[in-house]
Structure 1
Amino acid sequence: MATIDAERTAAAAAAIRHHYDIGNEFYRLWLDPTLSYSCALREKPDDTLELAQAHKLRHHLDAVDADRAGSVLDIGCGWGAILNGLAERGVGRSVGLTLSAEQAEYVDAQRYPGVEVRIQDWLDYHPQERFDGIISIGAFEHFARPDDSPEQKIRVYREFFTRCREWSNPDGTLSLQTIAYANMDAAQANSFMTQQIFPDAELPTLAEIAAAAQGLFDICEVTNGRLDYAWTCAEWARRLRAERAAATELVGAEAVARYERYLKLSAMGFRMGKLTLYRLVLRPYRTSLFGARGDRVS
Structure 2
Amino acid sequence: MDAATAIRHHYDVGNSFFGLWLDKSLTYSCAIREGTHDTLEAAQERKLRFHLDAVRAGSATRVLDIGCGWGAILKRLSASGVERAEGLTLSDEQAAYVRSREYRGVDVRVENWLDYEPDARFDGIISIGAFEHFATPDDSTAEKIGVYHHFFSRCRSWLHDDGLMSLQTIAYANMSRESANQFVQHDIFPNADLPTFAEIAAAAEGVFEVQSVHNGRLDYAWTCEEWARRLRRHRSAAVDLVGADVVARYERYLKLSALGFRMGKICLLRIVFRPYGDRHFR
Interval of TM-score (by shorter of Structure 1 and Structure 2): over 0.9
Classify the secondary structure of the residue corresponding to 2:245: helix
User: What residue number does 1:62 align with?
Assistant: 53
**1:124 Cα deviation from its structure 2 partner:** 0.5
The answer to whether the Cα contact below 8 Å between 1:219 and 1:283 also exists between their aligned partners in 2 is yes
* Distance in 2 (alpha carbons) for counterparts of 1:44 and 1:131: 35
Moved over 3 A (4+): none
Amino acid at match of 1:206: F
Identity of aligned residues (%): 65
Equivalent AA in structure 2 for residue 277 of structure 1: L
What is the DSSP-based 3-state SS (H/G/I as helix, E as strand, rest coil) of the residue aligned with 1:108? helix
Instruction: Output one character per residue of 1:99-127: Cα deviation in whole Å (capped at 9) or x when no partner.
Output: 00000000000001000000000001011
1:164: which partner in 2?
Answer: 155
Amino acid at match of 2:186: Q
Q: Which residue in the other structure is 1:7 paired with?
A: none
Amino acid at match of 2:260: G
| Structure 1 residue aligned with 2:249 | 258
The corresponding residue for 1:32 is 23
Match of 2:166, SS state, is strand
Partner SS for 2:19:
helix
- Give the deviation of 1:285 after TM superposition: 1.3
Hey, what's the Cα distance between the residues in 2 that align with 1:238 and 1:178? 23
**2:272 is equivalent to residue 281 of structure 1:** yes
Q: CA deviation at 1:44?
A: 2.3
Which residue pairs with 2:208 in the alignment? 217
List gaps (5 residues or longer) in structure 1: 1-9
For residues 180 and 158 of structure 1, the distance between their equivalents in structure 2, rounded to whole angstroms, comes to 16
Distance 2:80 2:141 in 1: 39
Q: How many residues align?
A: 281
Q: Which position in structure 1 is the counterpart of 2:90?
A: 99
Q: Deviations over 1:23-51 (max 9, x none)?
A: 00000000000000000001222110000
Deviation of the 1:128 alpha carbon = 1.6
The two structures, once aligned, show a CA RMSD in angstroms of: 1.0
TM-score when normalising by structure 2: 0.98
SS at match of 1:59: helix
SS at match of 2:200: helix
SS across alignment from 1:135: strand
**Structure 1 CA distance for aligned equivalents of residues 178 and 129 of structure 2:** 22
Equivalent-residue separation in structure 2 for 1:90 and 1:274 (angstroms): 40
After superposition, give the CA deviation of every residue in 1:157-183 in whole Å (9 maximum; x if it has no partner): 000000000000011000000000000
2:196 corresponding residue in structure 1:
205
Q: Which deviations, in whole Å up to 9, do the C-alpha atoms of 1:112-163 show, x marking residues without a partner?
A: 1000000000001011200000000000000000100000000000000000
Local SS of the residue matching 1:44? coil
1:196 paired to 2:224: no
Which residue matches 1:184? 175
Q: For each residue in 1:220-244, what CA deviation from the matched residue of structure 2 results, as whole angstroms up to 9, or x when unmatched? A: 0000000000000000000000000
The 2-side partners of 1:222 and 1:151 are apart by 23
Q: 1:3: which partner in 2? A: none
Q: Which residue of 2 aligns with 1:17?
A: 8
